[in-house]
Structure 1
Amino acid sequence: MPLNSQTRLLPLRQIELPILQAPPELKIRTDRDVEVWKSTKGYADYLLFLRRLSEAVVDCTLPLVDHPKQSQEIDGILALLDTLSNWVDEIPPLQTPQRFGNLAFRTWGARLEERSDELLSQLLGEKFASAFPYLKPSLLTSFGSFLRMDYGTGHESSFAIFLLCLTLVRFLQPEPDEERHIVLSVFVRYLQLCWKLQDVYRLEPAGSHGVWGLDDYTFLGYIFGSGQLRDQTVITVASVLNPPLPQNNLYFMSIMRVHQVKHGPFYEHSSQLHSIAVGVPNWGKVHSGLFKMYEAEVLGKRVVVQHLPLGGLMEWDTHVDQRHAPSMSRDAPATADTRAPWAQPR
Structure 2
Amino acid sequence: MTRQLAGLREIPLADVPNLSLPTLKIQTDDDVEIWRRSRSYQDYAIFLRRLNESVVGRDIPTTASSTSDAIERIMVLLDSLDAWIDEIPPQVSPQRYGNLAFRTWGKRLDVESDTLLGRLLPSAYVAVIPHLKPYLLTSFGSFGRMDYGTGHETSFALFLLCLTLTRFLRPVPEEERSVVLVVFPRYLRLCWRLQDVYKLEPAGSHGVWGLDDSSFLGYIFGSGQLRDQTQIPVSAVLRPPLPDNNLYFLSIMRIHQVKHGPFHEHSSQLHSIATGVPNWGKVNSGLFKMYEAEVLGKRVVVQHVPLGGLLQWDAAPTATEGPPVLHTPSVVGTPGATRAPWASSAPPQASASPTVASWYSGSTHSPSVSQSRTGTWTTGPAGRLSSNSSMGPPAL
Q: TM-score range by the shorter chain?
A: over 0.9
Aligned length: 341
How far is 1:268 from its partner?
0.1
Rg larger in 1 or in 2?
A: 2
Change (3 A) 1:327 1:65: farther
**1:14 is aligned to 2:10:** yes
Partner of 2:147: 150
Residue 106 of structure 1 aligns to which amino acid in structure 2? R
Q: Partner amino acid for 2:357?
A: W
Structure 2 partner of 1:183: 180
Structure 1 window deviating more from structure 2 (57-66 vs 237-246): it is 57-66
**Structure 2 counterparts to residues 59-208 of structure 1, below 5 A:** 59-63=57-61, 69-208=66-205
Change (3 A) 1:64 1:55: farther
Amino acid at match of 2:79: D
Give the structure 2 partner of residue 342 of structure 1.
357
* 1:296/1:335 contact within 8 Å kept: yes
1:4 is aligned to 3
Take 2:307 and 2:114, find their aligned partners in 1: how far apart are those partners? 19
The amino acid across from 1:33 in the alignment is: D
Alignment of 1:294-309 (within 5 A): 294-309=291-306
- In structure 2, relative to structure 1, the CA distance for the partners of 1:302 and 1:325 (3 Å cut) is closer
Partner of 2:285: 288
Taking the aligned partners of 2:63 and 2:86, their CA distance within structure 1 comes to 30
Distance 2:23 2:124 in 1: 24
CA contact (8 A) 1:298 1:304 kept: yes
TM-score by length of 2: 0.83
Would the alpha carbon gap of residues 324 and 76 (structure 1) be closer, same or farther in structure 2, given more than 3 Å must change? farther
Query: Residues 16 and 64 from structure 1, CA distance in 2 versus in 1: closer, same or farther, beyond 3 angstroms?
Result: farther
Measure, in 2, the Cα distance between the counterparts of 1:110 and 1:189.
Answer: 22
* Counterpart residue identity of residue 42, structure 1: S
Shift of 1:99: 3.6
Say if 2:62 and 2:245, in contact at 8 Å, map to a contact too: no
* 1:249-264 correspondence to structure 2 within 5 Å: 249-264=246-261
Give the CA RMSD over aligned residues.
Answer: 1.8
The residue type equivalent to 2:164 in the other structure is T
Letter in 2 for 1:282: N
Partners of 1:279 and 1:287 in 2: how far apart? 14
SS in 2 for 1:252: helix
1:96-118, Cα deviation, whole Å (9 max, x unpaired): 21243100000000000000000
CA gap 1:123/1:189 in 2 versus in 1, 3 angstroms: same
Q: 1:231 to 1:325 in 2, by over 3 A?
A: farther
Q: 1:295-334 residue pairs with structure 2 within 5 A?
A: 295-321=292-318, 326-329=324-327, 330=340, 331-332=343-344, 333-334=346-347
Instruction: Mark the CA change 1:152 to 1:96 in structure 2 (over 3 Å): closer, same or farther.
Output: same
Which position in structure 1 is the counterpart of 2:21? 23
**In the alignment, which of 50, 53, 56 is matched to residue 52 of structure 1?**
50
Letter in 1 for 2:349: A
Equivalent of residue 38 in structure 1, options 30, 36, 39: 36
- Name the aligned partner's letter for residue 196 of structure 2: D
Given that residues 290 and 340 in structure 1 are in contact (C-alpha distance below 8 angstroms), is that contact kept between their aligned partners in structure 2?
no
If asked which structure has higher relative contact order (CA below 8 Å, sep 6+), I would say 1
Distance 1:271 1:247 in 2: 22
Q: Distance in 2 between matches of 1:325 and 1:48?
A: 13
Q: Give the counterpart letter for 2:9 in structure 1.
A: R
Query: 2:226 maps to what in 1?
Result: 229
- Paired residues of 2:96 and 2:199 also in contact (CA < 8 A): no
Identity of aligned residues (%): 62
Structure 1 contact 292–340 (Cα < 8 Å) conserved: no
Match of 2:239 in 1: 242
Structure 2: segments with no counterpart, 5+ residues: 328-339, 366-396
Q: Choose 284-293 or 327-336, whichever is displaced more.
A: 327-336
TM-score (norm 1): 0.95
Q: C-alpha displacement at 1:15, in angstroms?
A: 1.1
Alpha-carbon separation, structure 1, partners of 2:23 and 2:257: 36
Q: Tell whether the 8 Å contact from 1:231 to 1:283 is kept in structure 2 after alignment.
A: yes
- Give SS of 1:4's match: coil
Aligned in 2, Cα 1:319/1:246: closer, same or farther, shift over 3 Å? closer
Is the CA contact (8 Å cut-off) linking 1:56 and 1:180 kept in structure 2? Answer: yes
**Alpha-carbon offset, residue 208 of structure 1:** 1.4
Contact 1:48 1:325 survives alignment (8 Å): no
Asked if the contact 1:41/1:317 (under 8 Å) is kept, the reply is: yes
Q: 1:45 to 1:64 in 2, by over 3 A?
A: farther
